[in-house]
Chains A and B, each alone.
Chain A
Amino acid sequence: MSFVKLTASALAITAVGATAASARDQVQVAGSSTVLPYASIVAEAFGENFDFPTPVVESGGSSAGLKRFCEGVGENTIDVANASRKIKDKEIAKCADAGVKDIIEVRIGYDGIVFASQLNGPDFGAFEPADIYNALGAQVMVDGKLVDNTFSKWNEFNADLPDVDIAAFIPGTKHGTREVFEVKVMEAGCKATGAYDVFLAAAEGDSDKAKKKAAKKMCYKVRTDGTSVDIDGDYTETLASISSNKDGIGIFGLAFYENNTDTLQVATMSGIAPSTETIATGEYPVSRPLYFYIKKAHIGVIPGLKEYAEFFVADEIAGPDGPLSEYGLVADPELAATQASIAAEETMK
Chain B
Amino acid sequence: MSDMTDMTAARPQKPVNSLLVQDANTARRNASEKRFRAYGITAIAIGLVFLVVLISSILFKGVGAFQQTTLTLQVELLEAKLDKSGTRDLDKIKKVTTFGYNPLIDDAIRRAIDEIGVENPFRKGKDLRKMLSSGAAGQLREFVIANPDRIGDTVAFKLLASSRVDGYLKDRVSRESLARDKNLTPVHLDLIDALRDAGIVRKGFNMSFITGADASESRPEQAGIGVSMLGSFYMMIVVLLAALPIGVAASIYLEEFARQNWFTDLIEVNISNLAAVPSIVFGILGLAVFIQFAHFPQSAPLVGGLVLTLMTLPTIIISTRASLKAVPPSIREAALGIGASKMQTVFHHVLPLAMPGILTGTIIGLAQALGETAPLLLIGMVGYIASNPPEGLIEGFLSPNSAMPAQIYEWAKRADPAYYERAWGGIIILLLFLMTMNIIAIILRRRFERRW
Contacts and interface: CB of A to CB of B under 8 A. Distances in A.
A22 B415 contact: no
A49 B97 contact: yes
B217 A41 contact: yes
B218 A327 contact: yes
Contact of A261 (B182, B296, B382): B182
A241 interface: no
A323 interface: yes
A316 B99 contact: yes
Given A44-B216, A262-B177, A323-B134, A56 B384 contact: yes
Nearest to A55: B384
Contacts of A51: 94
Nearest to B402: A56
Contact of B215 (A4, A11, A44): A44
Given A56-B380, A57-B383, A327 B217 contact: yes
B181 interface: yes
B427 to A, nearest CB: 16
A14 B394 CA distance: 7
B297 A18 contact: yes
Interface of A: 1, 3-4, 6-7, 10-11, 13-14, 17-18, 20-22, 24, 26, 28, 30, 33, 36-37, 39-41, 43-45, 47-49, 51, 53-54, 56-59, 76, 78, 233-236, 255-256, 258-262, 316, 321, 323, 326-327
A236 B415 CA distance: 7
A37 B217 contact: yes
A37 B220 CA distance: 12
Interface string B369-409: 00000000000101111111000011101111000000000
Contact of A256 (B97, B237, B415): B415
18 contacts: A4-B245, A6-B241, A14-B394, A17-B397, A28-B380, A37-B218, A37-B414, A43-B386, A48-B138, A48-B141, A56-B298, A56-B380, A57-B383, A58-B383, A255-B415, A258-B182, A259-B415, A316-B97
Interface string B229-262: 0000000011001101100000000000000000
Given A18-B297, A76-B291, A54 B242 contact: no
Contact of A36 (B177, B383, B393): B383
5 closest Cβ pairs, A-B complex? A58-B383, A262-B177, A37-B217, A40-B384, A17-B394
B439 to A, nearest CB: 23
Contact of A53 (B299, B387, B414): B387
Contact of A24 (B218, B297, B416): B297
Nearest to B398: A21
Nearest to B215: A44
A181 to B, nearest CB: 19
Contacts of B347: 1
B372 to A, nearest CB: 18
A262 B218 contact: no
B185 to A, nearest CB: 12
Nearest to B401: A56
B292 interface: yes
B400 A56 contact: yes
Contact of B415 (A14, A26, A28, A37): A37
A18 B398 contact: yes
A14 B218 contact: no
Given A6-B241, A236-B413, 18 more contacts: A7-B244, A14-B302, A21-B297, A21-B395, A26-B387, A26-B400, A28-B299, A44-B215, A48-B141, A49-B141, A54-B388, A56-B298, A56-B384, A56-B387, A234-B413, A259-B183, A262-B173, A262-B178
Nearest to A44: B216
A216 B160 CA distance: 51
Contacts of B219: 44
Interface of A is mostly: helix
Given A39-B384, A44-B215, A76 B414 contact: no
Given A37-B415, A49-B97, A7 B242 contact: yes
B387 A54 contact: yes
Contact of B384 (A36, A48, A235, A323): A36
B417 interface: yes
Nearest to B95: A49
Contacts of B386: 40, 43-44, 47, 54
Contacts of A262: 173, 177-178, 180-181, 417
A59 B383 contact: yes
A30 B98 contact: no
Nearest to B386: A54
A94 to B, nearest CB: 17
Contacts of B302: 14, 18
A262 B174 CA distance: 9
Nearest to B299: A56
A30 B241 contact: no
Given A17-B394, A21-B398, A24-B297, A3 B416 contact: no
Contacts of B142: 48
Interface string B140-161: 0110000000000000000000
A76 B384 contact: no
Nearest to B126: A321
A30 B287 CA distance: 15
Contacts of A24: 297
Nearest to B238: A14
A53 B388 CA distance: 9
A259 B181 CA distance: 8
